[in-house]
Copies of this chain bind each other. A is one copy, B any other.
Amino acid sequence: MEHFSDRLAASITARRSLLCVGLDPVLERMPPALAEKHRRAAAASEDEAVAACFAEFCAGVIEAVAGTAACVKPQAAFFEQYGAAGWRALTETVARARAHDLPVILDVKRGDIASTGVAYRRAAFGGAPGFAAPVAGVDADALTVSPYLGDDALTPFVEACAEGRGVFVLVRTSNPGAGMLQELDVGGRPLYLHVADAVARLGAACVGEQGYSDVGAVVGATAPAALRAVRAVLPHAFLLVPGVGAQGGATEALGELMVGDAAGLVINASRSIIYAWQEGDADYRRAAAEAAESLRRELGPPA
């Protein structure tokens, strides 16, 4: 069994890239020719038409960034709003990325009591019982999880690391209100560092051959001090860093957070890559490829 962390590290070094491309499809920003094609197609329903448009758009973006991005991160919410059709488009998008050997981090931020957590694990990674055989689920490489319910809610996901999957626990998020709970003082340290402690504890038994744990942490680029503090607690974890680009986080200070040959770090950008066509290039794939390559260079190579 190959560790998720080894697959991600191999992708980072092979592509010399710390870039994670977020796949956040919204109808208002679909390229006009693509939208028009699906508007006119005889889909069974509005949901089917939009979902088909999203699937084609995401496939185009994936193909465009497959050489430049270390991984991709589809955001489940944008697909879920189109119901079953959206869920199918999400599953197709994940398969498309994996066909390009791009590790897929499914951004779902799930978290529930243990028996329910097992069901969410199966939704992301497969294994739900069928009448004749288990079903495949979305079949992502990793997923994001929310820690509010505590250790036992994280455990069902951590267990999947033994089967080659990965987990990113929300530690310090990139949104303006993140501090409301996450920065509260608990015994002289902010709450988010107590979550980082749990990530360290849960991830200690899931370290791959490259020295990284399969249990990583989400830490926003909008909180540079938090990034340094979390790295101090988690020297072996992959950090998934959202919040650059549209959310305003800076990339300058990332160098000091890098650990090992594959940096132990991926930086997510979504809208600034996938909607780069809105800056003037009629070909959304070319625009995405160029924006991804530009950000890849700005982030610098690993090690």
Q: Is the CB of A177 within 8 A of B194?
A: no
Cβ contact of A50, chosen from B120, B135, B146, B176, cutoff 8 A: B135
- B-side contacts of A46, CB under 8 Å: 130-133, 135
Q: How far is the CA of A39 from the CA of B153 in the complex (A)?
A: 32
Question: Given A109-B111, A174-B113, A175-B113, A119–B152 Cβ distance below 8 Å?
Answer: no
- B-side contacts of A39, CB under 8 Å: 131
Q: How big is the A interface, by class?
A: 35 or more
A262-303 Cβ-contact flags toward B at 8 Å (1 or 0): 000000000000000000000000000000000000000000
Cβ contact of A78, chosen from B45, B119, B182, B186, cutoff 8 A: B119
Chain A binding surface SS class: helix
Question: Given A80-B120, A87-B83, A128-B81, A152–B138 Cβ distance below 8 Å?
Answer: no
The answer to whether the Cβ of A38 comes within 8 Å of any Cβ in the partner chain is: yes
- A191-250 contacts to B, CB under 8 A, are 191, 194-195, 198, 247
- B-side contacts of A128, CB under 8 Å: 27, 50, 81-82
Q: How far is the CA of A194 from the CA of B186 in the complex (A)?
A: 12
The answer to whether the Cβ of A253 comes within 8 Å of any Cβ in the partner chain is: no
Q: How far is the CA of A302 from the CA of B116 in the complex (A)?
A: 30
Q: How far is the CB of A177 from chain B (nearest CB, A)?
A: 3
- B-side contacts of A120, CB under 8 Å: 77, 80-81
- B-side contacts of A130, CB under 8 Å: 27, 46-47, 49-50
